[in-house]
């Protein structure tokens, strides 16, 4: 590993994940290996074995157990970390809901990979998108620097609101490619990220029932205190997720003050100021789309990019403000909500409904199972949509880019 | 009555009597103990208490007389099943004369 004077290291996305967890002083790590996440947790286990990270590394027999260990450790006040991909994330599903419902600020790194069947180890975002409604914050990183920084930010956000957070990064495209990453100093991170304080400490001297059977209606407990029913607890989780938009922006701004880097909070734009043709994407496709924007500009179109950084909570107001001047929006989704369309496209359209913005929205499904996505192809697709809109034709059907059927 | 909000963001309670709710509401038949057959009651000395041990709701006391807290007994019948002396009978709520 090459090291330069200002502590820039040339590392993979997975290594950035491990460094971020170490810098965040995680106390318990539990993970099960799955491609392409494995090198991230292997590196963490090395840090622990070498004594560079004072943490308990719990080896488990499955992803379900990995998250169960994190849930238990977080409940007794430890800062916990896990990482996974695809079917491993799906195997955690039940525990994902549990972590959110128990309001445990666990941070999970998801190296995005296509779901089986059939087996495919390459990248798309179907895995994390299908866990959208588990009550986790989802952040999508565009490069290894953002992966590292977002994990540190995720602990601040999660521990302020007591909501778990998932940092998603595209498998192979980001997990296995090396790029320069500025690694912050431990003292800086310590100043930014104070120790974790749990909302409820499980302590044998004051025994408690945690996450007990909680039926529909509020109920008075044995001491006469009115306790929330199930629906009230769900409302509080929703409220926390909605409030987390503000926290995401705040934490990103503060991170910028300390480390000199910030990421636009909930979203980022590229040549968006005067754009009337707006491309929308998330993760590494968004980076690819910046090149497509340049190409479209060269071809004489006023193109710009709106990239989602945070998918849940969905930054509705930001999306509305960013698309006010749009005459056409082209959404690239690395996922498919079977029987409908790409997930971010549906959410964008829902955000625009009821506002003054009446703009055609075209959706392209791209890069499933690692199918290559070239900037030129994104630009061509946007141009195709532009012609479609200019001809005044009805709403365009969802198009699967480069699908040979 | 003054209501105090629990202030919890997740479901939390202290282990104490009644925390699981008034499970006695669930009951459709009630265990009735025959003191002539119940071993500790018959001998008037602490012994057996298998009903106390097996009751999943901790609704049976470990004393003489053996008593069942009907606020929380949900009528599962485990005590009757486990009683080695056959001293406990489940009586349907509608046929019950003694409460």
User: H helices then E strands: how many in chain A?
Assistant: 13, 18
pLDDT digit string, tens, across residues A224-250: 889 999 999 999 999 999 999 999 999
**Which residues of chain A neighbour B2 with C-beta distances below 8 Å?**
none
Q: Are A43 and A18 in contact (CB under 8 A)?
A: yes
Interface test with B, best of A222, A232, A240, A243 (most B CBs within 10 A): A222
pTM strictly above 0.95: no
Angstrom distances, CA of residue B98 to CA of A43, A401, B24, B83: 70, 77, 16, 21
**Which residues of chain B neighbour A199 with C-beta distances below 8 Å?**
9-10
pLDDT digit string, tens, across residues A75-123: 999 999 999 999 999 999 999 999 999 999 999 999 999 999 999 999 9
**In chain A, what percentage of residues exceed pLDDT 70?**
99
- CB under 8 Å to A272, separation ≥6 — which residues? A278, A304, A305, A306, A322
Q: How confident is the model at residue A5, as a pLDDT?
A: 54
SS3 breakdown of chain A: % helix, strand, coil, rounded to 5? 40, 20, 40
Q: Is the peptide bond between A240 and the residue preceding it cis, with omega within 30 degrees of 0?
A: no
Distance CA A363, CA B14 (A): 52
Q: In terms of DSSP H, where are the helices of A260-327?
A: 284-298, 316-322
According to DSSP, the residues that pair with A28 across neighbouring strands are A56, A80
Which helix (H) or strand (E) segment is A111 a member of?
strand A107-112
- CB under 8 Å to A338, separation ≥6 — which residues? none
Q: Does B25 touch chain A (CB under 8 A)?
A: no
Distance CA A83, CA B48 (A): 53
Contact A212 B13 (CB under 8 A): yes
Using the 8-state DSSP alphabet, how is residue A323 labeled? Answer: T
ipTM of the complex: 0.85
Contact A210 B15 (CB under 8 A): no
pLDDT band with cut points at 50, 70 and 90 for residue A358: confident
């Amino acid at each position: 590993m090459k090291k330069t004077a200002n502590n820039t290291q040339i590392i993979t996305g997975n290594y950035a994940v491990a460094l971020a967890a170490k810098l965040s002083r995680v106390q318990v790590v539990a993970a099960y290996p799955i491609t392409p996440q494995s090198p991230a947790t292997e590196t963490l286990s090395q840090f622990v074995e070498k004594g560079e990270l004072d943490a308990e590394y719990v080896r488990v027999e499955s992803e379900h157990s990995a998250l169960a260990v994190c849930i238990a450790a977080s409940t007794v006040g430890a800062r916990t970390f896990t990482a996974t991909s695809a079917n491993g994330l799906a195997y955690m599903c039940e525990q994902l809901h549990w972590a959110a419902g128990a309001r445990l600020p666990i941070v999970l790194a998801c190296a995005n990979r296509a779901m089986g069947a059939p087996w495919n180890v390459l990248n798309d975002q179907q895995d994390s998108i299908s866990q959208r409604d588990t009550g986790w914050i989802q952040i999508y990183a565009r490069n290894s620097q953002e992966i590292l920084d977002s994990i540190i930010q995720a602990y601040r956000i999660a521990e302020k609101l007591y909501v778990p957070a998932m940092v998603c990064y595209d498998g192979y495209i980001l997990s296995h490619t090396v790029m320069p990453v500025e690694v912050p100093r431990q003292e800086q991170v310590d100043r930014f990220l104070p120790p974790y304080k749990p909302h409820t400490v499980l302590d044998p001297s004051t025994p408690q029932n945690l996450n007990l059977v909680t039926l529909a209606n509020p109920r008075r407990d044995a001491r006469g205190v009115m306790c929330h029913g199930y629906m009230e607890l769900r409302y509080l989780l929703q409220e926390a997720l909605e409030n987390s938009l503000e926290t995401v922006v705040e934490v990103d701004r503060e991170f910028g003050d300390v480390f000199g880097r910030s990421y636009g909070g909930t979203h980022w734009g590229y040549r968006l100021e005067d754009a009337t043709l707006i491309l929308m994407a998330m993760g590494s496709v968004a980076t690819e789309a910046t090149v497509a924007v340049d190409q479209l500009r060269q071809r004489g179109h006023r193109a710009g990019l709106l990239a989602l950084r945070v998918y849940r909570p969905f930054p509705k107001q930001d999306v509305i403000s960013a698309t006010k001047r749009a005459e056409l929006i082209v959404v690239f989704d690395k996922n498919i909500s079977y029987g409908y369309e790409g997930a971010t496209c549906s959410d964008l359209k829902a955000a625009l409904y009821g506002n003054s913005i009446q703009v055609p929205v075209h959706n392209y499904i791209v890069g499933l199972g690692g199918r290559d996505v070239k900037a030129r192809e994104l630009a061509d697709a946007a141009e195709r949509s532009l012609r479609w809109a200019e001809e005044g034709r009805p709403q365009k059907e969802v198009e699967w880019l480069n699908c040979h059927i | 009555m003054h209501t105090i909000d629990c202030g919890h963001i997740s479901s939390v309670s202290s282990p104490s009597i009644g925390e699981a709710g008034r499970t006695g509401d669930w009951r459709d038949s009630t265990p009735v103990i025959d003191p002539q057959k119940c071993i500790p009651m018959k001998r008037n000395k602490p012994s057996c208490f298998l009903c106390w041990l097996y009751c999943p709701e901790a609704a049976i006391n470990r004393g003489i007389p053996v008593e069942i807290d009907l606020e929380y007994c949900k009528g599962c019948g485990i005590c009757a099943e486990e009683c080695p002396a056959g001293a406990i009978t489940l009586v349907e709520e509608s046929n019950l004369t003694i409460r």
